Structure 1
Amino acid sequence: MTPQDLQPEELPHGAAARRGPFRAGERVQLTDERGRMNTITLTPEAAFHTHKGFLNHAELIGKPEGSIVANTTGQLYQALRPLLSDFVLSMPRGAAVVYPKDAGQIVTMADIYPGARVVEAGVGSGALSISLLRAVGDRGYLHSFERREEFAAIARGNVETIFDGPHPAWQISIGDFQDEVVKAEEPGSVDRVVLDMLAPWECLDAVATVLAPGGVWINYVATVTQLSRTAEAIRADGRFTEPESWESMVRGWHLEGLAVRPNHRMVAHTGFLLVTRKLADGVTSLALKRRPSKTEFSQQDLDAWTPSSVGERAVSDKKLRRAARDAVATTQTRGHVAPAVDENTAGGTADETADDGSVEN
């Protein structure tokens, strides 16, 4: 039996939604003749408006992916489903997302495999959760921990949008990771730990408790000071292997005839990744020989690790309420019942501003 012979209900979760003609409730990427891109959510009665006319959503519903359609003034648009990297950068958000370049590195360098048991903290808008769920698959396990209910609501909506409904391998809990994970997971039962938070060194004991021997712990941090303190805390703890760190930078290329050159802009520093592995119980890590260096932190260093000091911008409650409503509304448009979002914690407007300043009604 080939994948083409499988019924939709037999396919991995969300796969059926990536195939076939466009359906109401789907997000569709429209690219015009100048390469400008807009993402819309197909609604039978709605239209995509620009200063050059409008395009009724109904003209796209039922058409095959890759179609080219014209609006009321003859403006042509190429219609495709957004790739995961496109979706992550255009989805409703309340916090900065983990960029696709970093999510890909995390999945590969942490060896997130189908069926793995993974816990993560710092869900934000759910961008990394989506990549982790794709990696562990329907028979895997992902338990996400988030301190704020508003972020959890946004993440739920985005995950259910990309997977066309709730994912069977995912659960999300509200609370501090270091307190909640040891209550929810048995000691040594977790294969991988992924942390995207301000102070991952505070979670050393919790990670050491739930992570299985040989399991991977990967951290995503924004600044050099965070990276340094996390690495030194892991070394001093002795229950993990020597930490390794890296960052990735992505630069596109301009391709037009003989004018082939690097683009002037690139996705440079977004964060550092630091990875280590859990040693067997009772084993102490090897003391690697290295040149003496200053490893102690002054009070001034410790005071530097605050959200404002490391460049983390505060997110207004109004923005969070709007992002939560937008994320949940998308799942409801596709016919799925998402967890109710209270009017006091979910906001937004009826119109959605597109990437080029146009308005979708």
Structure 2
Amino acid sequence: MRTLCDGQRIHMVDQKKERHYALTLKAGETFQHSGETIPHDELIGKPDGTVVTLSRGTTMLAINPTFADYVVKMPRGAQILYPKDLATITMWADIYPGADVFESGCGSGAMTMTLLRAVGEKGHVISHEIREDFLKTARKNIERYLGPVTNLSLVHNDVYAGIDEAEVDRVVLDLPEPWRVVPHAAKILRSGGIFLSFVPTVPPVVTT
């Protein structure tokens, strides 16, 4: 049985309003909602999915969030990719268990976590990001949800200038000018591999 742990990111769910409120459990702190409270100590150690009662009688559901819920509510530095896009990218890029995947534009880590879950323990994800603050946010988000991971390489690098990596099975990009990466990606993508770039508008598609 999964329990709610100190330091864990959980969701408090108002079942009447169908709203999720994200928080990180910390011993000694208090969750506040609409003038009501409940100490984190009363949540820590409880089974996942416990219904708890706040100070004035309102009940809420305390849960470990699903991956989709976590992505939507997690702290972010950059705009995130949403679950529907993450699912589409994973399908069209044909990310499979054991694959070596190069990613750039990790932002807040949503795509990176999706790739890690898809490649499994035998795969490897290499993620390049030009902004150090985004890398820090992504690392925290990833570790909060997945725990320590040994098959992830987060690299501070400008991929427009070049990519110094070994051969990979897939290249996945979420960048404003992906066409500038195509020559570099061609050097690391294996024969028969897949290059996929997520772009929100038509002009980058034409240029790439």
Fold in common (TM above 0.5) = yes
How far, CA to CA, are the matches of 2:178 and 2:55 in structure 1? 54
| Code of the aligned partner of 1:65 | D
**Cα contact 2:165–2:188 (8 A) shared by 1:** no
CA distance in structure 2 between the partners assigned to 1:79 and 1:43 by the alignment:
14
- Greater RCO structure (CA 8 Å; 6+ sep): 1
The aligned amino acid for 2:178 is P
CA RMSD of aligned residues (A): 1.3
**Alignment deviations for residues 11-67 of structure 1 (CA, whole Å, 9 cap, x no partner):** xxxxxxxx5211111112111233232111111201111233211111111111111
Residue equivalent to 2:10? 28
Cα pair 1:52 1:75 within 8 Å, conserved: no
- 1:123·1:152 contact (CA, 8 Å) conserved in 2? yes
The residue that corresponds to 1:149 in the other structure is 132
> 2 CA distance for matches of 1:121 and 1:164?
22
Q: Does structure 2 conserve the Cα–Cα contact (< 8 Å) formed by 1:103 and 1:128?
A: yes
CA distance in structure 2 between the aligned counterparts of 1:29 and 1:150, rounded to whole angstroms: 25
- Report the count of equivalent residues: 207
How far apart in 1 are the matches of 2:44 and 2:157?
A: 41
Identity, in percent, stands at 38
Deviation of 1:169 (Å): 0.8
Q: Which of residues 165, 170, 175 is equivalent to 2:157?
A: 175
> Which ranges in structure 1 are unaligned for 5 or more consecutive residues?
1-18, 231-361
In the TM superposition, what is the alpha-carbon distance from 1:184 to its structure 2 partner? 2.4
1:127 alignment counterpart = 110
Counterpart of 2:154, as a letter, is I
Q: Work out which of the residue numbers 27, 37, 56 in structure 2 matches 1:54.
A: 37
Q: What TM-score results when the alignment is normalised by the length of structure 1?
A: 0.56
- Alignment-derived partner of residue 281 in structure 1: none
1:55-106 Cα offsets, whole Å, 9 max, x none, are: 1111111111111110111110011111111111111111100111111111
What amino acid does structure 1 have at the position aligned with 2:171? Answer: V
Q: Does 1:115 align with 2:98?
A: yes
Give a deviation string over 1:110-150, Cα, whole Å, max 9, x none.
Answer: 11111101101111111100000111111211111111111
Other structure's SS at 1:177 match: coil
- For 1:221 and 1:121, the matched residues in 2 are separated by 13
Q: Which has the higher strand share?
A: 2
Q: Secondary structure at the match of 1:113?
A: coil
- Structure 2 counterpart of 1:184, from 165, 181, 184: 165
* 8 Å contact from structure 2 (residues 126, 153) kept in 1: yes
Matched, 1:69 2:47: no
TM-score in terms of structure 2 length: 0.95
Larger radius of gyration: 1
* 1:161-198 residue CA offsets vs partner (Å, 9 max, x unmatched): 11122x111001111214442x222xxx2100001101
Paired letter, 1:171: S
- Counterpart of 1:174 in structure 2: which amino acid? H
Instruction: Say if 1:192 and 1:215, in contact at 8 Å, map to a contact too.
Output: yes
Give the gaps of 5 or more residues in structure 2.
Answer: none
